[in-house]
Chains A and B, each alone.
Chain A
């Protein structure tokens, strides 16, 4: 049973380019979450999606960032016109959403480390 898969593991982009980060949730999980981690910091929530729906994007910057989780295929976090401040590790997590989600731990991928030069 494969875990949460993220790719690429490392991504280098020049300022102004676009970054596309992919996440395939665990089998049977239909809820995906994206978090960002700066060096020596904890994870900060960005967005929560279900298939074809954005449920909560309160942690996502209003400009340049977007996320989707289509009916088929992985979830995509897209950062347009990247700037140096976007350099961070981006983690995806999934959960099965069985009944009360308040007691459901998240399963994390190993992250994509984005470096903007």
Chain B
């Protein structure tokens, strides 16, 4: 069964707006990772947040982690058309990452 579940399944915004995607998981974790997948391509690692971290930033990305609620969020600020992609959260050790079904983000120019 899926460990991570992203919400919403699809999100459409205008360029310049912020995009927020959420991920819920079921069991305790060592870390949580976010990946991006452009259409027809492989996954690209965006950011990893450890279980003892609450918030992490990388450029226009901000990730939060609430282990008490077993949830994480990914915020993309000042979105660009190039951010159009599917975004997945993943949990587990690198030996066996478990992915959610993803959020499909469309950024309209």
Chain A contact residues, CB within 8 Å of chain B: 4, 6, 31, 33, 35, 40-45, 48, 55-56, 58-59, 91, 93, 95, 97, 101-111
Query: Is there an interface contact between A48 and B96, defined as CB atoms closer than 8 Å?
Result: yes
| Residues of B that sit less than 8 Å from A by CB | 2, 4, 30-31, 33, 35, 40-45, 48, 50, 88, 93-102
In whole Å, how far is A86's beta carbon from the nearest beta carbon of chain B?
Answer: 19
- With A42-B2, A42-B88, A102-B31 known to touch, is A107 a contact of B45 (CB < 8 Å)? yes
* Residues of A close to B31: CB separation below 8 A: 102-103
Residues A91 and B43 in contact, CB atoms below 8 Å apart: yes
Q: How far is the CA of A102 from the CA of B96 in the complex (A)?
A: 10
Number of A-B contacts (CB under 8 A): 69
Closest residue on chain B to residue A55 by CB atoms: B95
Tell me the smallest distance from the CB of A9 to a CB of chain B, in Å. Answer: 9
**Apart from the given pairs A43-B43, A55-B95, A108-B44, 6 other A-B contacts in the complex at a CB distance below 8 Å:** A42-B101, A43-B88, A45-B96, A45-B98, A102-B94, A103-B31
Residues of B within 8 A of A6 (CB): 42
- The 9 A-B residue pairs whose C-beta atoms are closest, nearest first, are A108-B42, A42-B99, A105-B45, A108-B43, A102-B93, A102-B30, A101-B94, A104-B94, A110-B42
Asked whether, in the complex, the Cβ of B2 is within 8 Å of the Cβ of A95, the reply is no
User: Does A105 lie within 8 Å of B88, measured CB to CB?
Assistant: no
Q: Are B100 and A42 in contact (CB under 8 A)?
A: yes
A25 to B44: give the CA distance in the assembly, Å: 15
